[in-house]
Amino acid sequence: MKRQTSKKVLTGIFLFCIFASILVVAYSMFISRDQEKQIYNIIMVPKTIDDTNDFWTSLIAGAELGAEEFNTNLEVLGGKSEVDIAGQIERIEEAIKKKPDVMLVAPCSYSETTEALQKVVDNGIKLILIDSVIDKDIAQSVVATDNYLAGKQLGEFARGLIDENTQIGIVAHVKGASTAIERENGLRDGLGKYEPQVKDVVFCGSSYDKAYSLTLEMLEDYPDLGMILGTNEYSAVGAARAIKDLGLTGKVKVVGFDNSVEEIQLMEEGVFQGIIIQKPFNMGYLGIEQAVDLMNGKNIEKNLDSGCKLINRNNMYEEENQRLLYPFTGQQ
């Protein structure tokens, strides 16, 4: 009798263990499926929302595609100017109040936005920087072009177009922005022995019109200027327009950053000798991918280079480069 009772007890314990194991596995599967279905809220704060600037429209388009593919909610908050630092800080603080899971921010200033971004982290919101960085290492990830290397590559290309008598001018975008600082450093190193021939550096505040007028003033001060380097789309296009309108195409060589329909046309006309193509569509898409992976507990890269390439009149029609020049297919 005792043997039968013991046997029944053991059988009961065995069945209970099996049943408990099944419950644990089922619960784990339920939790896993629930996590997979979780929709994250992401707010992106670019430097600007400007329909005339192909870099930012492309970056936002890449982020929107990423949000669609990874099934996340994306809200984009931005101003109309890259130099509106106070406005960007207001939008960062507005975003904090909405308590998103992750914020993607392209800081307008290397130092002046740091305090606001620290508040993001202090409020338990994940922070990913895109395009630009700040003077404090508080972000979980940075997705950006390697701006120093891109600048150096463009400087090396420019060096092959000039000689020891060529005077050089730099039309930069926003003073104090990390991208402007890193690109100028790269440009100067790429110019090598010709770097002392840089006569002036001006900042257009990411305005086409101001870049245009500053280029005219630079040419008045240095009438023998033979090379102009632009550090973003606004500065490069503004400078190129001035060179074209003055009838100096080919005489004053122009190289720059970014790609827009106008930049491509100006290169076809010979106003631009070369441009560094960033991959803003990739940058936006990868920023969202990093955010989702971060929320899902996956390992992400601390610094993710979104890539760039030098395009000139000799290689601009190659199939691969055409995809970079016209990125909105998403096939980068």
pLDDT of residue 316: 86
Q: What is 41-145+280-306's CATH number?
A: 3.40.50.2300
Of 114, 112, 195, 124, residue with least CA distance to 159: 195
What are the residues whose beta carbons fall under 8 Å from the beta carbon of 170, sequence distance 6 or more?
184, 187, 198, 200, 201, 202, 228, 229, 230, 231
Q: What is the pLDDT of residues 146-189, one digit of tens each?
A: 999 999 999 999 999 999 999 999 999 999 999 999 999 999 99
pLDDT value at position 128?
98
What is the CATH T-level fold of the domain 147-277, as seen in this structure? Rossmann fold (3.40.50)
- Residues 6+ positions from 63 with CB-CB distance below 8 Å: 44, 74, 76, 104, 284, 285, 287, 288
Please say whether the beta carbons of 156 and 166 come within 8 A.
Answer: no
- Judged by DSSP in three states, 276 sits in strand
Helix ranges restricted to H, 104-198: 114-122, 147-159, 178-191
pLDDT by residue (tens digit) across 88-102?
A: 999 999 999 999 999
Q: How far apart are CA 213 and CA 108, in angstroms?
A: 23
Q: Amino acid identity, residue 93? A: E
Query: What is the side-by-side order of every strand in the sheet holding 272-278?
Result: 198-203, 167-172, 225-230, 253-257, 272-278, 308-312
CATH 3.40.50.2300 residue window(s) in the chain: 41-145+280-306, 147-277
User: Distance between CA 189 and CA 232 in Å, rounded?
Assistant: 18
Nearest alpha-carbon partner for 112 in 132, 127, 94 = 132
Classified as helix, coil or strand, 206 is coil
